[in-house]
Amino acid sequence: MGVVPAVRPAGRRLRSGTVVLLAGLGVLLVVGVVSAVVAGQRSADPSPATLNEINVPAAPVPVPVVVHLVTYELTGGGSALNITYVGQGADIEQVSQAATPWSATVDHTSTTGGSEYFSLTARNAGPGSLGCRISVDGTTVSESTTGPQGVVRCSKSLS
């Protein structure tokens, strides 16, 4: 009697539970293949760094600091008005009026290889001449003179 046919009859359909089971198995198969490929690529890469091997940026190397002694001077026979010069920390300093000779000495701190700017301006309040001079570490770097009622300016940029 009967031999069970190996092929199901043409009119018979799969049950919905069977379709869901086959779809689930297909998804698992795809996930497994993708995982195996990713794992294979990772094993070809160098091993991940441990916490001690992480490339942490090195602490910044301190840049050497240079301190210059800057002297600003005004000379003449009278007085000066509106004296403006570069003070400590590159702050602008102002003196409204001063008798000559006048001077101010400031420590300028900068980094090695950095640039610095020194400036001194003043208005001559008297009938004679008014001179200005900027000295850095004892060396004169700028010098100028103006006549009566004139404005004198000395400046220098060093790098």
Residue 141 C-beta-side C-alpha neighbours within 13 Å: 20
- Same domain flag for 75 and 39: no
Check residue 54 and give its pLDDT.
Answer: 66
Is 112 domain-assigned? yes
* Number of compact structural domains in the chain: 2
Nearest to 94, CA basis, from 126, 121, 116? 121
Alpha carbons 119 and 96: distance in angstroms, whole number? 16
Is 58 domain-assigned? no
Check residue 158 and give its pLDDT.
Answer: 84
Give me the mean pLDDT over the 115-130 stretch: 91
- Same domain flag for 78 and 25: no
Is 5 domain-assigned? no
- Same domain flag for 80 and 39: no
Query: For position 74, which CATH number holds?
Result: 2.60.40.2880
What domain range is 140 assigned to?
A: 65-158
Check residue 34 and give its pLDDT.
Answer: 74
Alpha carbons 136 and 50: distance in angstroms, whole number? 53
Check residue 21 and give its pLDDT.
Answer: 73
β-strand pairing of 130-136 with 65-76:
antiparallel
Q: What percent of the chain has pLDDT over 90?
A: 40
pLDDT (tens digit per residue) in 20-32:
777 777 777 777 7
Q: Let me know: does 143 contact 131? Beta carbons within 8 Å.
A: yes
Alpha carbons 104 and 15: distance in angstroms, whole number? 101
- Same domain flag for 46 and 86: no
Cα distances from 106 to residues 68, 69, 114, 116, in angstroms, run: 8, 6, 18, 13
Is 30 domain-assigned? yes
Cα distances from 33 to residues 21, 26, 36, 41, 111, in angstroms, run: 18, 11, 5, 13, 60
- Same domain flag for 69 and 46: no
Residue showing tokens 């300028």: 108
Q: Let me know: does 81 contact 121? Beta carbons within 8 Å.
A: no
- Same domain flag for 103 and 70: yes
